Amino acid sequence: MKIPFGIGNADTGTAAGTDDIKNGEITFHAAHGAEVKKGDIIATFEMEKTSVDIAAPVAGMIELSFKNGDRWDREGVLESSSGIILAPPFGFIETEKPEVPEERKEDEKGESAEAEAEANPEPTLPQKTANSPREEISGIPIIPAAREIMRTKGIEPEGITPSGPRGEILVRDVVSGEISAKKESLAYTKTSVPHIRLKPSVEWLAVAKNLIGIVAGGTMEFNIKPLLTLRNDIGAAYKERYGVEIRPWAILAHAAVQIVREENFRVLNGAWITNRAAGSDEIILYETVNLGFSYDRGENILIDRAKGTISGPRLRILTLHGAEREIDPKAFFAAASSLIARADVGKSTHQDLKDWTFVVNNLGALRHESGVSILTKEISGMMNIGYARDDGNIKLQLFFDHRLCDGTMVTKFLTRVTEKAIQETAPAIRACLGQ
């Protein structure tokens, strides 16, 4: 009997308590064909800033459906060079056959031996017969499902290693072989985000190789009293007319989206991609700004000593896709408010939680004046907005990929954001009310 294991869903029923998990990267701790005990940690599922350990539901021999580093997506796709395929469980565990009642053992002994001999002939050279369910490709037996994948995708058998019990090619062998063959073409996972690819210059490559750490950052203090005054003067009337509140952090975020589109700052809406398999580097510049908002409501951590687990909601990043299209401040405020409102009631969509290209952290919501941020995968810029004091003084921070820009970017970018928010966005908001 084969028992599936992986992320819990209606199809597998495994890893209870993981029904809200969407996608991530798989790391296996047991090799294909290894014997495992019930409760052994056999895989880890890595998501943004968190991970889930997968325990063996039963004892038996493990059969893997994926390879280390593959990305699993609940929506039904495997995000790897193997293309779009249905996302099955991570694998299966072959358990021992159920115990046969004593009174039936003698009666079934003869016919079971005959059935086993018929089902499992001596492993001589596999023969293709008119009644055989197996096919062959280049003289190697292959199951029909694997042959169909190869046919539809134009995959050649070279580089595919059979792992079937009689030396046949299985579906997992085709997927594994294709991943290996296309490994050099792997660049990044935000495949749905429009982008351009650039090769870094020799000088840029030299600087990158000399860096010990790639994330740098800086802090500047500004006075945004005009934004606080704007909120106090017309906030109530603005909300009554348009149904959204005037929030100083949102004004700054709106300005940042527009500034990050300027030519001098475009590298902040991009990523440095290192393809270790191919030994090459490239720079991705995103052609749209998918603005990420850090979302942290400070829920309690849950420690279950009996089960030996720790869990609880963690920080998430909500994504406003195509934020640069919301040039009108009130449309931007409304879109951001809807995004946060969905998260507040646990109704975030799959799209709400993926493919951000630039991130804004509203530290002021937690009354923090500043903080230290860590860049997530495949982005190069993150802006922190601190708590605004009554006198209007506020700390703004920019964290960036040092391979793409230097510290002068902090001064230039944060100054431009503040100037745009005060000199352009705030007057536009007043104009909406005829002031």
State how far the Cα of 126 lies from the Cα of 143, in Å rounded to an integer.
Answer: 12
Burial of 299: CB neighbours in 10 Å, binned 0-12, 13-18, 19+: exposed
Q: Please write the tens of the pLDDT for every residue from 292-343.
A: 999 876 667 888 898 888 887 777 899 999 999 988 999 999 999 999 999 8
Same domain, 93 and 202: no
Answer whether residue 166 is part of any domain: no
Residue 237, domain CATH? 3.30.559.10
Q: Where among 71, 98, 125 does a domain terminate? A: 98
Same domain, 360 and 213: yes
Q: Where among 82, 98, 114 does a domain terminate? A: 98
Same domain, 207 and 60: no
Answer whether residue 173 is part of any domain: no
Stretch among 139-148, 226-235, 420-429 having the lowest mean pLDDT: 139-148
Mean pLDDT of 398-418: 95
User: Which of the given ranges, 33-37, 280-284, 390-394, 404-408, has the highest pLDDT on average?
Assistant: 390-394
Q: Which domain holds residue 382?
A: 195-432
Stretch among 23-27, 116-120, 133-137, 321-325 having the lowest mean pLDDT: 116-120
What's residue 76's pLDDT? Answer: 47
Answer whether residue 110 is part of any domain: no
Higher pLDDT, 367 or 212: 367
What's residue 291's pLDDT? Answer: 97
Q: Confidence band (pLDDT; 50, 70, 90) for 139? A: confident
Answer whether residue 142 is part of any domain: no
Q: Where among 46, 68, 98 does a domain terminate? A: 98
What's residue 269's pLDDT? Answer: 97
Same domain, 348 and 241: yes
pLDDT over 50 at 126, yes or no: no
| pTM confidence score | 0.60
Answer whether residue 141 is part of any domain: no
What's residue 158's pLDDT? Answer: 65
φ and ψ of 181, to 5 deg:
-65, -30
Answer whether residue 66 is part of any domain: yes
CB of 39 closer than 8 Å to CB of 124: no
Same domain, 394 and 266: yes
Sign of torsion over alpha carbons 74, 335, 320, 17: negative
State how far the Cα of 171 lies from the Cα of 98, in Å rounded to an integer.
Answer: 28
State how far the Cα of 375 lies from the Cα of 348, in Å rounded to an integer.
Answer: 22
User: Which of the given ranges, 88-102, 181-195, 362-376, has the highest pLDDT on average?
Assistant: 362-376
DSSP run (H or E) holding 293: strand 291-295
State how far the Cα of 17 lies from the Cα of 7, in Å rounded to an integer.
Answer: 9
Stretch among 129-138, 203-212, 294-303, 379-388 having the lowest mean pLDDT: 129-138
Same domain, 199 and 89: no
User: Which of the given ranges, 36-40, 96-100, 378-382, has the highest pLDDT on average?
Assistant: 378-382
Sign of torsion over alpha carbons 276, 404, 263, 326: positive
Residues making up the chain, counted from first to last: 435
What's residue 110's pLDDT? Answer: 52
Residue 94, domain CATH? 2.40.50.100
What's residue 73's pLDDT? Answer: 66
Indicate the number of domains in the chain. Answer: 2
What's residue 94's pLDDT? Answer: 84
Higher pLDDT, 391 or 134: 391
Q: Please write the tens of the pLDDT for every residue from 215-242.
A: 999 999 999 999 999 999 999 999 999 9
Report the 10 Å Cβ neighbour count for 185: 10
Q: Confidence band (pLDDT; 50, 70, 90) for 93? A: confident
State how far the Cα of 379 lies from the Cα of 358, in Å rounded to an integer.
Answer: 6
What's residue 24's pLDDT? Answer: 76
Same domain, 93 and 233: no
Higher pLDDT, 305 or 27: 305
Answer whether residue 335 is part of any domain: yes
Average pLDDT, the chain: 80
Answer whether residue 122 is part of any domain: no
Q: Confidence band (pLDDT; 50, 70, 90) for 114? A: low
